[in-house]
Amino acid sequence: MVTSKEICQIGRPHIMDLNDDCLGMIVRRLNVMQQYQISKLHTRFKQIVKSQWRCKLNHVVVYPELLENIDEATFVGFMQEVGPHMQSLLMRHCDIRYLRLLSDQIFNRVETFGWMGEGGSGGGGEAGDSGGEELSEFQGDREKQFLDEDLNLLTRVFPKLQVLKLRGCQITGKYLAQFSSLKHLSLDDCQCLESDNFQEVFQELKLRKFDIMEDCDEINCCDLIELKKCPTLEHIKIADYHLCFDTDIINDILRMPNLKKLSIYSKNFVFDVLERISRTNLKQIVAFKFNGVLHNFERFFRELNHMRHLKKLSFYECRGYDIEGIRDHMLVQISKQFADLEEIHLCSCDLESDRGVLSFVQNCHKLKLINLTSCRKGISESVIWRCMELMKKQKWRTHHLEMWLKDAYIDKAILEDPRYMYNNRFLKLDFKQSLQDSNPPGVLKFTFST
C-alpha cells in the first residue's frame, strides 16, 4: 500500500493531492464492491470508505454484475468488511456457491436476508432431449439451486434473522422452524414445499407477517388451517387456491386476534373472495385495495357497498375487458355509502369522466386525499376548477384536500394560474407524490381496525 509521503516525493499531480471531500465524492460514485477494492489501495481511501459505510451501509445487494472478475477470497473478504455495518442482505440471481462460501462466517448484525433465484422449476432439458440427458441436467442444476441445506446454513450464518424472503428455491421448508427470531417469512415460487413442515413453523415461530402468495402450489387450504396456531400474525398474504370456500378457513383467519392486513392473490375467484370477506362481521374493514382487470365492475362495486367503515379505498390499473372501465355512477354510489372515507386512490385507472371523482368531494366530509396518479382517461384540467367551485360552497369545510396528479394529463403550469393561486383556500395540488403498488395484478388487500 502506497503512503501519502511517498506520493508527495514523486512531485507530479496525483489523485491523492485531492482533499477528503473530493475523494469522498469519487468513492460515492462507485458500487460497494468497487469501494471495497479501492479501500485496499491507500489508507486515506480506506478511512473514507469506512466513514461512508458507518453512515449509509445498512442494505447490501449482491448481484452477478457486482461479482464479475471477483475470486472467492475477495468475495469472502468483502463480506467480512461489510458485515459489521450490514443489517440487510439481498442476493439476486447469484450463483449459490457464493452463499456457501460464507458457511464459516457469522453475521450477528444482519436482520434481513433475501434470496432471489431464477425460478422454482428446477431446470431440465429442452423438448426433444433424451430422458437421461434431462435427468443429468436436472441433477447438475440442483447443485446451483437454493436447497434445504442452504436454509440450514442461514440459521448459522445469520443467527438473529428477523426477515427471510426466498424466491425460486428448491426447499421443502423443514428447517424454517429453526429461525427462532423470525418475524416475517416470505416464500415465492418455492414449488417443493412440503405441507408437513408448516405445522411446526406456525407452532414454533412468532411470526408477524407470512407471505406465500405467488406460485407455491404445493401448500393448500388444509395446510393453512394451521395458521391459527400462530396468533401473533398481523399480515397474511396468500392466494385464492390456498382457500377452500366450503370450509371455515377464512373465518379462522379473520378470528386471529392480531390480524391487521389480509392480501389475497386471485386469478379466477375475485368475486368469491370479495363477497366472503366484505360481508364478514368478524372484522371491521377500514381500507381496501385492488389492482387488476375486471370483467364485471357492477358486481364488484356492489360488494364494496358492504364495507361501510372504509377510510381508504385504492384502485391500481383497474380496467375492464370489454367496457370503458369504472363508470361514474359506480363511484357516485359508493361515495354516498362511505361517510368516513379519508383517501381515494384511482391510480392508472380508466374513468368515464370527472363526475365520479367529484362525488367524493361532495359526499365524503372527512376526505383528505384524492390520488389520480397516471390517470389519463376521463380526467382533464376541468376537474380542478369544478372541485374548487364545489369546495367554495362547502361551509362546513375546515381542512385541506390534497389532489395528487403525477403523470396525469394535466399541465403542472396550473400551479401558477391566478385562478388557482388566489381563489383557492382548501385544494392543494401535488405533481410529485405517488404510491407504488408492488403486488402482481389481481391482489385484493383488506386492512382491519385494531
Q: What is the pLDDT of residue 128?
A: 38
User: Which cell is 272 given?
Assistant: 368469491
pLDDT at position 22 over 60: yes
Return the higher-pLDDT residue of 409 and 158.
158
pLDDT at 320: 67
pLDDT score of 133 more than 50 = no
Residue 370 confidence (pLDDT) above 90: yes
Q: What is the pLDDT of residue 11?
A: 59
The per-residue pLDDT for 429 is 94
Let me know the angle formed at the C-alpha of 244 by 239 and 246, rounded to the nearest 5 degrees. 150
Fold of 281-449: 3.80.10
Fold (CATH) for 58-119+144-255: 3.80.10
pLDDT at 120: 44
pLDDT tens-digit profile of 253-293?
Answer: 899 999 999 999 987 788 888 988 998 888 999 999 998 88
Q: In the chain, pLDDT over 70 holds for what percent of residues? A: 88
Q: Say what the pLDDT of residue 232 is.
A: 96
pLDDT of residue 31: 93
Whether pLDDT at 322 is above 60: no
Q: Residue 442: which pLDDT band, with cuts at 50, 70 and 90?
A: confident
Domain edges within the chain: 14-56, 58-119+144-255, 281-449
The pLDDT assigned to 167 comes to: 93
pLDDT value, residue 389: 92
pLDDT of residue 433: 83
Question: pTM here?
Answer: 0.84
Distance CA(65)–CA(105), nearest Å, equals 23
pLDDT in the model for residue 272? 86
Between the two ends of the chain, the Cα-to-Cα distance in Å is: 60
pLDDT in tens, 181-206: 999 999 998 888 888 888 899 999 99
The predicted pLDDT at position 139 comes to 44
For the chain, the three-class secondary structure string (H helix, E strand, C coil) is CCCHHHHHHHCCCCHHHCCHHHHHHHHHCCCHHHHHHHCCCCHHHHHHHHHHHHHHCCEEEECHHHHCCCCHHHHHHHHHHHHHHCCEEEEECCCHHHHHCCCCCCCCCCCEEEEECCCCCCCCCCCCCCHHHHHHHHHHHHCCCCCHHHHHHHHHHCCCCCEEEEECCCCCCCCHHHCCCCCEEEEECCCCCCHHHHHHHHHHCCCCEEECCCCCCCCCHHHHHHHHHCCCCCEEEEEHHHCCCCCCHHHHHHCCCCCCEEEEECCCCHHHHHHHHHCCCCCCEEEEEEEEEECCHHHHHHHHCCCCCCCEEEEEEEEECCCCCECHHHHHHHHHHCCCCCEEEEECCEECCCHHHHHHHHHCCCCCEEECCCCCECCCCHHHHHHHHHHHCCCCCCCCEEEECCCCCCCHHHHHCHHHHHCCCCEEEECCCCCCCCCCCCEEEEEECC
Domains 58-119+144-255 and 281-449 share a fold: yes
Average the pLDDT over each of 78-82, 161-165, 191-195, 209-213 and give the range with the smallest value. Answer: 191-195
pLDDT at res. 378: 85
The helix-helix angle for 20-28 and 43-56 (nearest 10°) equals 60
Model pLDDT for residues 57-84, shown as the tens digit of each residue: 999 999 999 999 999 999 999 999 999 9
Question: pLDDT per residue over 81-131, tens digit each?
Answer: 999 999 999 999 999 999 999 999 999 999 999 999 875 443 333 333 444
Q: What are the beta bridge partners of residue 186?
A: 165, 211
| Mean pLDDT of the 395-424 span | 90
Note the pLDDT tens digit of each residue in 329-346: 999 999 999 989 999 999
38 contacts 30 by C-beta, under 8 angstroms: yes
Return mean pLDDT, the chain: 86
At residue 122, the pLDDT reads: 39
